[in-house]
């Protein structure tokens, strides 16, 4: 090979080698990052399922230096990491709103402001829990939730705002949020409230629990699960 040809091909081959090395390095890094994100998403889903199944049943009371609104309770995974109470300075005319706020340091699992009532007046009906909600620096997610238990504390129905298009994250101004589910005839208790995972602060006011028409779509996590297995031969495409 002549000197001129070698001089031309040398940089060219070197450039190809650099490009290939960069491609495979970048691809490997992207794949590793994707695996990391998938693992984090799966961890969050598992944590959320655990959180919302435990709220009001196994969770510990949140000790607070603030007064809780009458009729409401507070619970959490690591209760001492959060403050729950009533704020009279955020809304005009000193109208009360409730809040959940993470402290400066802690393990930060979750905290919930909740209420439990008898299901007698709602059995067989479709109910909607709604409230005005505001958020600041919510690192994971927050949202309304509602759950129906039977007399033995078995979960019969469960609605929440965990799905990506409905959850509250980051900083958001006041907006009306809602969850909807059908109350089974075997329901004994209705549990509902506001939950926040990890760090940040959320407020809510104008909470309403009311019976709605059947044409209002449900957000019940259990009701939305498929009734039968699908795509068992993996031939029905990917999502």
Task: Please check whether residue 156 is in contact with residue 149, taking contact to mean a CB–CB distance below 8 angstroms.
Answer: yes
Q: Which of 59-63, 115-119, 183-187 has the lowest mean pLDDT?
A: 59-63
Query: Which of these, 3, 116, 13, 114, lies nearest to 69 by C-alpha position?
Result: 114
pLDDT in tens, 126-178: 999 999 999 999 999 999 999 999 999 999 999 889 887 889 999 999 999 99
> Which domains does the chain possess?
55-212 (2.60.120.260)
Closest CA to 144 of 64, 186, 205: 205
d(CA 234, CA 239): 11
Judged against a pLDDT cut of 80, whether residue 51 lies above it is answered with no
Reference 196, options 141, 149, 159; nearest CA is 141
Quick check: pTM over 0.75? no
- Band (104; pLDDT cuts 50, 70, 90): confident
Decide the pairing of beta strands 82-87 and 73-76.
unpaired
Nearest residue to 179 via CA among 156, 163, 161: 161
């Amino acid at each position: 090979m002549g000197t001129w040809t070698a001089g031309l091909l040398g940089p060219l081959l070197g450039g190809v080698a650099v490009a290939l090395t960069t491609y495979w390095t970048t691809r490997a890094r992207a794949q590793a990052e994707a695996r990391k994100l998938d693992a984090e998403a799966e961890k969050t889903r598992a944590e959320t399922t655990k959180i919302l199944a435990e709220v009001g049943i196994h969770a510990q009371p949140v000790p607070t230096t603030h007064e809780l609104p009458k009729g409401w309770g507070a619970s959490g995974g690591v209760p001492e990491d959060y403050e729950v109470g009533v704020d009279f300075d955020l809304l005009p005319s000193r109208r009360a709103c409730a809040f959940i706020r993470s402290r400066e340091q802690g393990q930060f699992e979750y905290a919930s402001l909740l209420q439990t009532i008898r299901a007698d007046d709602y059995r067989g009906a479709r109910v909607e829990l709604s409230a005005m909600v505001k958020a600041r620096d919510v690192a994971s997610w927050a949202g309304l939730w509602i759950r129906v238990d039977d007399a033995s504390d078995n979960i019969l129905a469960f609605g929440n705002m965990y799905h990506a298009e409905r959850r509250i994250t980051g900083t958001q101004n006041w907006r009306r949020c809602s969850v909807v589910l059908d109350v089974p005839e075997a329901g004994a208790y209705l549990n509902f409230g506001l939950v926040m995972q990890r760090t940040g602060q959320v407020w809510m006011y104008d909470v309403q629990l009311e019976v709605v028409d059947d044409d209002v779509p449900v957000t019940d996590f259990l009701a939305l699960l498929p009734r039968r297995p699908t795509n068992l031969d993996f031939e029905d495409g990917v999502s």
